[in-house]
Amino acid sequence: MLLAVSGGPDSTALMHAAARLAPAGSIHVATVDHRLRPGSAAEAEAVAAKAARLGLAHHLLVREGEAPATRLQAEARRARYALLAACAGRIGADRVLTGHNLDDQAETVLLRLCAGSGPAGLAGMRGARALARGVTLGRPFLALAKAQLAAWCEAGGIAFLRDPSNADDRFARARLRRLSPILAREGLDPARLARLAERLARDDAALSRTARDAFAGLRIDAERGVRLGSPAALPEAVTLRVIALAMAEAGAEGPERLERLEALVLGTLLPALREGRAVCRTLRGLTVETTLRGEVVLAPAPPRKGGNAVRGRADGLLGKGSPAAYIDDE
């Protein structure tokens, strides 16, 4: 196993617990230095020293290149997981464990609520998911509060670091963290938000299973792209997922955004299918059209003329600047 350890109370607790429980030689530790603030290199060295005292191999992973100008934390997360997956591959680890906890889960749910996410996004972080081919990302502490993990470290005399970015109001997580006591007084505490995530994860799994079955039943052989029989008789929640599956299989570009998918499916495709009209729209590098026979056909869009022809049609359908409701895991 490869443990992602930054030096905070949650990942420090993870490292010490794993060192006590796992067979000798089965645990490696990795620290990612994003080089985004002074002192990050020294913090990584401190983690390496603690790992060495526990008899654990340590890997320093450094993010190269300039810091992104926008979406700093999202891009840092993407880079962090890429570095961890690559390290796992090098050392032959099939699991990467992180110290994400109940407070992190609650913040994730709030962030996605603010972004307008649907059930898949509001289900929050999963306890386990695929990180790369042959590598699973696991989060064993999702049911434990950060305060519990810090108290466990303090009771055992285990020193840990405090990340100053956790209190930096430039970041949405830090701003939401300041609101947490107010929300808790109204009953919306981290435990209740985590339960909401569990319930939505359960519902999301059922909807996803139903959508996969429906997609398989509607699919028609096509020489190019994906062709489906009409999904108009399906519940709209299932239809959205069926079209999302079809777009993924057809090679859609970029992230999936729920508002754009809803505008395409609920605002254009389903009305056209129910009225027997043929329409064609473009989204995420694909043409998506309904035929007079009541089918839905998805195929790669033709090359852009002047660099913005396809984008223009998508913006005309969906509206520029619509909020991004990402439904990915963190």
Annotated binding site for ATP: 6-11
Question: What does DSSP assign to residue 234?
Answer: S
CA 203 from centre of chain = 17
The span from the CA of 149 to the CA of 306, in Å, is 55
The span from the CA of 29 to the CA of 22, in Å, is 13
Three-state DSSP class for 222? coil
The span from the CA of 302 to the CA of 224, in Å, is 13
Whether residue 108 contacts residue 127, with contact meaning beta carbons closer than 8 Å, is answered with: no
Residue with tokens 């090359």: 303
User: What does each C-alpha distance from 151 to 12, 19, 26, 143, 159 come to in angstroms?
Assistant: 12, 18, 27, 15, 11
Beta-strand ranges (E) seen in the chain are 2-4, 28-33, 57-62, 95-97, 128-132, 135-138, 219-220, 226-228, 279-283, 286-290, 296-300
Q: Which residues pair with 58 in a beta bridge?
A: 29
Q: Which residues pair with 3 in a beta bridge?
A: 29, 97
Counting Cα atoms < 13 Å in the Cβ hemisphere of 99 gives 25
Q: Is the dihedral of CA 244, 246, 248, 251 positive or negative?
A: negative
Annotated binding residues, written as ranges, equal 6-11
Phi/psi of residue 57, each to 5°? -70, 140
Q: For Cα atoms 111, 144, 21, give the angle at the middle one, nearest 5 degrees.
A: 130
Neighbours of 258 (CB within 10 A): 22
Residue with tokens 């033709």: 302
